[in-house]
Amino acid sequence: MRVLIVSDLHGNLEAARALPTDVDRIWVLGDLVNYGPNPAEVLEFVRQKAAVVVRGNHDHSIGFDEDPRCSARFRLMAQETGRYTRSVLPLECRQYLRDLPLQATVEVEGNRFLLCHAAPSDPLFEYRPEESSRWMADEVAPGIGMLLAGHTHIPFQRVLKSWQVVNPGSVGQPKHGRAEACYAIWQDGRISLESAAYDVEETVAKLRRLPLSADVFADLAFVLRNGSIPAARA
């Protein structure tokens, strides 16, 4: 069994299309929409291909018309792209986002996985880095060997006492310093963090055509091209 694990696609169709196709299943850790120019197409991509999908904070925001509680530097980006996303997603798609579960437990070949977007104790909103001590305080069901979480857009693996936590990074808006679509592959009891190049400039060109302010467009383009957070504006 070969499983592709992805998170934070954020409406980036070019990045989604760069993902490997030689897999048996796809698991998605949330944030299908916002920030990117193709929310409807990415949502349809996930609906057609993914076996398991959990809800991210941006899915929740668009589905329920609520604040995604982004970090300060991304707040305006989320607001402007959120308005665009709501304008192009039909009600049926927003209902799909509302209906996504906050967590999912999956068993494959005797291995049990817990999937969530952010963290078990706060599935939607907590930004929890690799080094956080809170990973060890999480209560997970007996037999869970791996926790899969996204949200930070930074890939990592961390082995704890009886289980490990894996963040595949972000497909559509990575923040680990490189302009590439990040993902994880689980196969034969092992997991690896991987990435793929994609046509970043095509995504940037699509963003340029959206109804965004000049500052928000510049910030979104910077993140895509550099894989990092733009400096604060004066």
pLDDT for 27-78, tens place per residue? 999 999 999 999 999 999 999 999 999 999 999 999 999 999 999 999 999 9
Q: What is the pTM of this model?
A: 0.96
pLDDT in tens, 104-131: 999 999 999 999 999 999 999 999 999 9
pLDDT in tens, 147-164: 999 999 999 999 987 889
Domain boundaries, the chain: 2-226
In angstroms and rounded to an integer, the radius of gyration of the C-alpha atoms of the chain is 17
Beta strand ranges found along 37-174 (DSSP E): 52-53, 103-108, 111-116, 144-148, 156-159, 164-167
Topology of domain 2-226 in CATH is Purple Acid Phosphatase; chain A, domain 2 (3.60.21)
- Return the closest-CA partner of residue 67 out of 125, 131, 9: 125
Q: pLDDT band for position 204 (50/70/90)?
A: very high
pLDDT of residue 162: 82
CA gap 154, 24 in Å, rounded: 25
Q: What is the DSSP letter of 106?
A: E
